[in-house]
Chain A
Amino acid sequence: MTTLVRPEQKAPPPHKRKGVTQQQRPLWLLTPGGILLILIVLIPLALAVYLSLLDLDQYTLRRWIEAPFIGLDNYVESFDSGLLHSIWISVSFSVLSTAVTVPIGIAAALVTQNAYRGRGLVRAAFLIPYVLPSFVVASVWRTMLQPDGVVNAWLSKVGVDGGLWLSGPKSYWTLVLVEIWAAWPFIYLMALAALQSVDHEVHEASAVDGVTWWPKLRRVILPYLRGPVLLACLLATLNHINNFTLPFVLFGAPAPDDVNVMPMLVYVTSFQSLRFGLSAAMAVVSLIIIAIPLYVYLRAVRLDVHEEGGRR
């Protein structure tokens, strides 16, 4: 019997890197990006914070530099002006929309994963809600959801009184529904991209092992989707929160209290009440309130896939 003895290996000589060291990295190459970042993000942000401390409205706008400095008064007032209510509506609506669109998007991606006749057509059809401009989507839904619109006409045929979709408590669910309708293809696209990145060998290996579809989906395929879908969740939620066109066209301004989302509140405060200082304060508060859970989420799901790079 012979045993294979592994030849003793010498530790390789410490590899001297020929490339740049950490200290020598050409950070100056970041300058153009850095300047842009300062110009289009940091300065306006700083200005927004500054404006939020001023009593800036139509009376003082002309000499805005001299607008009275009122400290945190705008912040105090913003909490009295329904800001928290709006943040709650925005956040709940966004999270809800994302939660519903994720399974729909993934399911749609799975359905169009394997080749079959007409798959191209199905894929194209799935994208329709996504490529329609928000304005068009909202206008069409608004027309359909009129008290005497087609939706209520259908509902009455099955004996249901549709009632008001664009005012009152139900308007919230209208907003969620239309947002879901318009936004799920985004999750679908991200999930589809992730599915395409599943190696061929993985499918073969599962087939060799005789795995049935459900365990394969759960233990093999879905883990591949985790990263992209979690990222999609984040982007989608932020998109929902930012969506101004949809509520504005669906409900008009002033909006019913049930759908007075943050962009609507800031819009009305800025451009109908002309309280620029107050709306800047609202913007800053919302930014902070949303940035905290966002940070926690980013830490929790570790979207940073290049961890090795990050660890250096």
Chain B
Amino acid sequence: MGKMRAATALAGATVLAVALTACGGGDDSGGGDGKTLNVLIGANTQYPDEFQAWQKDISAKFKAQTGAEVKFETFASANDELTKIQTSVVAGSGPDVYAVGTTFTPTAYSTGAFVKLGDDEWKKIGGKEKFNPATLGISGPDEQNQVGIPWVSRPFVMAYNTEILKAAGIDKPATTWDELGQQAKQMTKGDQYGLAIAYKDNFDPWKFVWGMSAQAGNPLVDGKTARLADPTVQKAYETYFGWLAQDKVVDPAAVGWTNPQAVAAFAKGKTGYFALTTTTAANSLNQGAVKGKWKFALLPTVPPGATSRPANGVEAASILSGDNLLVADYSKNKDLAFEYVKLVTDQEVQLDYYKKFGNLPANAAALQTLSSDETLGPVTEAAKKSVATPFTGAWSDIQLALTNVAVQSLPDLAKGSISPAQIESRVAEAQKSAQSALDRAK
């Protein structure tokens, strides 16, 4: 019966969308006056009031420039956004501009519902050169087929407790995964742990595994072939689980942690490293016992078991993380849409956005002004050294399969023993579903 409801809802949405096509369709008159541009953007639950104010401010600027109104529509979760994209795509009407997460961009691209950016389009928004080159990595499958315009970056970094590292005689943060494990061992004693890892998070695990594998020369996807059943992936999982199961450098309670719980644990000031975080966690950290005693550092870029990166390894400091702006193909206000994109990717607006919400600029000049900031140095570096996850419509499935390996391993992890064979069989399953997703990719 639950299924039926879901199916009914799905079908209902489809019917509705089709019906809406009939009444949809905006005006197509020239000039900006009297027109309205619809922008779909993620809600900001952390700073809702500031976000409202920002929207007002942008609307006013846009009105002054073009005479047109901007109407913001917010979505609460990725799921909401996806539903909105689905109905709009089917209906051929809806928001003109979408703000879409980087890892979701390939999926959005695969619907074929967004404007491909040619020279003209790039010119309209101020040229490709104005962006941090790394952020363009996930705009499209190749240079000729780009749909995503980088808007903000949220690169992943580590946070470390300066006092705990110092007390353990560590003078600088680890740059290889092995070194990280080693330092974590040095710092673990009593109720103090070397690492905080969110093992039960629904996204964190795959980011570790992808990063370590990419550094070892395996991007996980090779054309139409999934490369999950590979020694690099096996090694990545062994390292990732090993911190808790073998090395015991992570609080055993971490098998139940999502990322915000790991932030909270690190904020108590009893952990050396918090291995995967972004600038948006800074506020939480500054409210905890760790205030004034923490710094950001680049995640290790040398794969586990190695002291230097192999020749085919990539210096992936972080997944390419943040938001892209996409202009809908069905939009009747494309010119206005690009003017909006130009506005919000300009240096001044980008810096203002960073100050308000902690998201790094995708604008290269704006990012440069932040790199002199000591706290942010490693983060801006991570933004430049971010590497795009494989650009395929199958990525959401692959990501899910990688996370699933961690989810199903938690009971073994809690018992403190997870054998390579167990990992291998779960990875084999993930390989199967990743490959079948790639086989379906068009």
Q: A interface vs B, CB < 8 Å?
A: 40-41, 43-45, 47-48, 51-52, 57-62, 64, 90, 146-149, 163-164, 166-169, 238, 241-244, 252-257, 261-263, 266-268, 270-274, 276, 279-280, 282-287, 290-291, 294
Is B306 among interface residues, defined by CB-CB distance under 8 A?
A: no
Q: B interface vs A, CB < 8 Å?
A: 1-12, 14-15, 79, 82-83, 86, 89-90, 107, 110-113, 200, 202, 251-253, 255-256, 258, 261, 393, 396-397, 400, 403-404, 407-408, 410-411, 414, 437, 440-442
A237 to chain B minimum Cβ distance, whole angstroms, is: 9
What secondary structure prevails in chain A residues at the interface with B?
Answer: helix
User: Provided the pairs A285-B3, A290-B1 are in contact, do residues A163 and B14 lie with their beta carbons within 8 angstroms?
Assistant: no
Write out the residue numbers on chain A whose beta carbons fall within 8 Å of the beta carbon of B408. Answer: 256-257
Going nearest first, the 10 A-B pairs with the smallest beta carbon separation are A168-B411, A283-B7, A283-B3, A286-B3, A48-B7, A47-B11, A148-B253, A167-B410, A44-B11, A242-B2
Report the nearest A residue to B5, measured CB to CB.
Answer: A242
User: Provided the pairs A47-B11, A147-B255, A271-B79 are in contact, do residues A164 and B3 lie with their beta carbons within 8 angstroms?
Assistant: no
User: Provided the pairs A254-B202, A279-B10, A283-B7 are in contact, do residues A61 and B82 lie with their beta carbons within 8 angstroms?
Assistant: no
The one of A147, A244, A273, A284 that contacts B400, using a Cβ cutoff of 8 Å:
A273
Report the nearest B residue to A289, measured CB to CB.
Answer: B3
What secondary structure prevails in chain B residues at the interface with A?
Answer: helix
Q: Cα distance A244–B7 when bound, in Å? A: 14
A278 to chain B minimum Cβ distance, whole angstroms, is: 10
A204 to chain B minimum Cβ distance, whole angstroms, is: 43
B301 to chain A minimum Cβ distance, whole angstroms, is: 28
Query: Please, could you name 13 A-B residue pairs with CB atoms under 8 Å apart, sorted by A?
Result: A43-B15, A44-B8, A51-B7, A59-B111, A61-B86, A146-B256, A148-B253, A167-B200, A168-B411, A241-B1, A257-B408, A268-B400, A284-B7
User: Provided the pairs A167-B255, A273-B437, A280-B10 are in contact, do residues A90 and B2 lie with their beta carbons within 8 angstroms?
Assistant: yes
Write out the residue numbers on chain B whose beta carbons fall within 8 Å of the beta carbon of A164. Answer: 255-256, 410-411, 414
Write out the residue numbers on chain B whose beta carbons fall within 8 Å of the beta carbon of A52. Answer: 7
Write out the residue numbers on chain A whose beta carbons fall within 8 Å of the beta carbon of B442. Answer: 59-60
Q: Cα distance A221–B407 when bound, in Å? A: 49
User: Provided the pairs A147-B414, A148-B256, A273-B437 are in contact, do residues A41 and B3 lie with their beta carbons within 8 angstroms?
Assistant: no
The one of B15, B90, B200, B252 that contacts A44, using a Cβ cutoff of 8 Å:
B15
A59 to chain B minimum Cβ distance, whole angstroms, is: 4
Q: Are B2 and A47 in contact (CB under 8 A)?
A: no
Report the nearest B residue to A145, measured CB to CB.
Answer: B256
User: Provided the pairs A48-B7, A242-B1, A285-B3 are in contact, do residues A61 and B111 lie with their beta carbons within 8 angstroms?
Assistant: yes
A99 to chain B minimum Cβ distance, whole angstroms, is: 18
Write out the residue numbers on chain B whose beta carbons fall within 8 Å of the beta carbon of A244. Answer: 2
Report the nearest A residue to B251, measured CB to CB.
Answer: A148
Q: Are B255 and A241 in contact (CB under 8 A)?
A: no
A31 to chain B minimum Cβ distance, whole angstroms, is: 21
Q: Are A167 and B82 in contact (CB under 8 A)?
A: no
